[in-house]
Chain A
Amino acid sequence: MEPSIESLVERVQAARAARTPLCIRAGGTKDFYGGPLRGDALDPRGHEGIVDYEPSELVVTVRSGTPLAALQSALDARGQMLAFEPPHFGAGATVGGCVASGLAGPRRATAGALRDFVLGAHLLDGRGQVLKFGGTVMKNVAGYDVARLLAGSLGTLGVILQVSLKVLPKPAVEATLQLEADEAGALERMNAWGGQPLAISATCWQCGTKPGLLSVRLSGSQASVDSARRQIGGSELAAPLAERLWSGLREQTDPYFTDAPASPAPSTPGPLWRLSVPSTAPPLALAGAQLIEWGGALRWLRTAEPAVALRTRAQALGGHATRFRAGEGRDDVFTPLAAPLAAIHQRLKRQFDPDRVFNRGRLFPEPDAH
């Protein structure tokens, strides 16, 4: 066993024996996301490095403590990328935190979720065992797909030690177009475009100035970007501004996320909510300042509305609402689960982490008795 794994195993076994919980945490860039941090910190950053990368296989295998930026520059050097465009939310982001948070960026709606690109994973479970799920090939239906279950698990099932990810070639050409549109008009257009073979890789609507601004990023070959550009119209944003726009959305450094909202929201900003709904859901008709991504399927809302109102509205539309930047210590971040699903969660937790060593209550409530 590699020494960097051995030291993690020892920590887990000691914590298990002493019944003290652990909080898996590397760069701490996503501390704000999810339920409260409980327990002693377990830092997997000693376990780092790219294990295998063969560009022609479209697969990279990497240890979880590897800085996300290091992985991305290795891929970039070979003309490839993580197609789900993960947010870093800070300089210290690691591959493990990226997979455990399961978050994807602007390309999500067209390229797929983070979990769609997970091919295999090694997990250090709550018994101190190293389990190996999936593999390094694109098609693999042997055994339950636990590697993909780990995407977005927020460390509740164990320490992700290593992952194999599918990678894709970077597009040859990108262009960003902008059109004026109000909320309903933007939703209508984004959904209509979704049904046509257009090289769209990201969309965003903001209401900063009336009636609102719809931005569309095109990615692909010169021919496909040219034909989409003709069909969509609007004005083209210069490349540096386009880069700032999309990275600002991905990293939430865009003024929408950092500034107090201007009109039409006269009230105080309130916390940031993330409403994930079907792309065709109508305008939310909730108070607050809104930003729409993912072809209409992701609606950010800075609002002082009570959680119950937001959750009721999101659920009625077929989605859910997350208190995205919760602030310390909140345990009502995520929409509560239906009873049979909650029961499956408890049983999976018991399977992988019977003594509840890891990240208690970070993703779902964990009653003390079990």
Chain B
Amino acid sequence: MTQATAADHALGHAPDGVGPIDPARQRLVHQALKRCLPDDALLVHAEDTRPYECDGLTMFHQLPMLVALPRSEPQVIEILRICRDLAVPVVPRGAGTSLSGGALPHCGGVLLSMARFDRIVSLDPRARIAVVQPGVRNQLISERAARHGLFYAPDPSSQIACSIGGNVAENSGGVHCLKYGLTLHNVMRVRAVLSDGSVVQFGSEALDSPGLDLLPLVVGSEGMLAVVTEVSVRLLPRPALARCILASFDRVEAAADAVARLIGAGIIPAGLEMMDGAAVAMVEPFAKAGYDTQAAAILLCESDGTAPEVEDEVARMESVLRAAGATRLNVSRDEDERLRFWAGRKNAFPAAGRVSPDYYCMDGTIPRRRLGDVLTAIAQMQLKYGLRCPNVFHAGDGNLHPLILYDANDPDSCVRAEAFGTEILELCVQVGGTVTGEHGVGVEKLNTMCQQFDPGTLQAFFGVRRAFDDAQILNPGKAIPTLARCAEFGRMHVHRGNLPHPDLPRF
């Protein structure tokens, strides 16, 4: 199966741009791009383009018509001008770690890999600003800044591999966002090329810019507004010390209540993560983090700062957690132990891959006060769909990652996983949350976007897109569903879960 997968059927229809490649069109575009790119910067043969057929969302794959690997901004400008003239879609790609299919190729399009933009252009410790190319790995910035006592705060769990360009496209978060913010809060300036080839700077290294603040549109735009060629990120002073409390609870609700009490006490932890009992049971044998496998839920609560600050804050956190009914508390004694506490949480996804052939990671955000209701509903859905679903939760900012365990080789299991995920996201919207906290919409959540936004707002999103890319060649078909798609999904949706003749194949 080269193009669609079983999951497409559950979605109603395949994403845009999934289909066979037209060889004549491929030759034409290849010839045109050869004018501006050397041979080693263009891939056309299937054996070369295969590594690009999907990103971190492996449910969908599609060979790109061509892969372009530019090294310079003038090459990016030329590629975009040529593609615009020929009406060829362009799909920008960083490290390909997106979990929502944001970098899924287009069968008639050019996959624009920014991997060769891999230089840290400058790192000014006095200004606390690093200027980096988009292909630079997230973690490399903090590694380079460490010698100056500085770090780059957003730390998505893929930080070893993911690129800053991809982080800008997705507005990536991580486990420290509650205190240190998302990518948007840590990016000062983005230099980018528009689809018409013009070069623009959004933001600056000052704290504001004249005119409308376009940076929040560009950050999180999933590669649909502009192609990023350079980013200025803000570096923060590295805290002298960090300590982590590991707290066990015998009820999930008690853990959720503890989170509300911490915040209510005026404490903003550097990290605040929750895992339910099923997630702990999945992770502990694999990561040996020292988690309490008897607990219904555990919390990881981190304090950072100077030594006296941390001592003071940890004491306050401990007393709040005890009052909230924690059954066990461990405070990390040294850096090794702190990292071991985190190793369990950071290995939740690989652990899911060990206990199940496949897993489907959801990414809804909910108001924290609804956590108990949502977890209870997910427990019931496990029975309904016959699939297990451990939960990890960025508790501080309400971002829930249910991990639906399924088997991709079993088409029925795929369909159930997809429907399970959709129902979780619908619930997130119902309780006042959102279908994606940090992974992006990509191709994955197009349908649930129809539930979160009304037609007027969706139309406004398309207007925003046209304001930047009037030819609409950048990453078409991603992130914002067309009204036609929503209408079609609405028809399906009315009957979902209630289909007559459930044994018949659908769509």
Contacts and interface: CB of A to CB of B under 8 A. Distances in A.
Contacts of A48: none
Contact of B439 (A141, A280, A341): A141
A145 B125 contact: no
Contact of B184 (A108, A145, A364): A145
A224 interface: yes
A223 interface: yes
Nearest to A318: B205
B452 interface: yes
Interface in A273-330: 276-280, 294, 297-298, 318-320, 322
Interface size class of A (residues with CB under 8 A): 35 or more
A226 B149 CA distance: 21
Given A129-B456, A149-B216, A344-B214, A135 B434 contact: yes
B248 interface: no
Given A196-B237, A280-B126, A348-B212, A139 B365 contact: yes
Indicate the member of B178, B210, B468, B480 with the most A CB atoms within 10 Å.
B210
Interface string B134-149: 0000000000000011
Contacts, number: 258
Contacts of A341: 200-201, 211, 214
Given A197-B239, A338-B200, A227 B308 contact: yes
Given A132-B457, A137-B398, A320-B206, A54 B439 contact: no
Nearest to A148: B216
Given A139-B398, A320-B206, A144 B217 contact: yes
B464 to A, nearest CB: 5
B436 A140 contact: yes
Given A56-B260, A137-B367, A137-B434, A277 B206 contact: yes
Given A139-B399, A227-B309, A144 B367 contact: no
Interface string A327-362: 000000011111111101101101110000000000
A112 interface: yes
Contacts of A169: 263, 266-268
13 contacts: A57-B398, A109-B207, A112-B185, A143-B461, A169-B263, A191-B127, A224-B308, A278-B127, A319-B206, A336-B210, A338-B200, A339-B198, A344-B468
Given A58-B263, A197-B240, A345-B212, 5 more contacts: A139-B434, A139-B438, A143-B480, A149-B214, A152-B208
List 6 tightest A-B contacts by C-beta distance, closest first. A351-B463, A169-B266, A148-B216, A347-B467, A139-B437, A319-B206
Interface of A: 54-59, 79, 102, 108-109, 112-113, 115-116, 125, 129-133, 135-146, 148-149, 151-153, 156-157, 168-170, 172, 191-192, 194-198, 220-224, 226-227, 276-280, 294, 297-298, 318-320, 322, 334-342, 344-345, 347-348, 350-352, 363-364
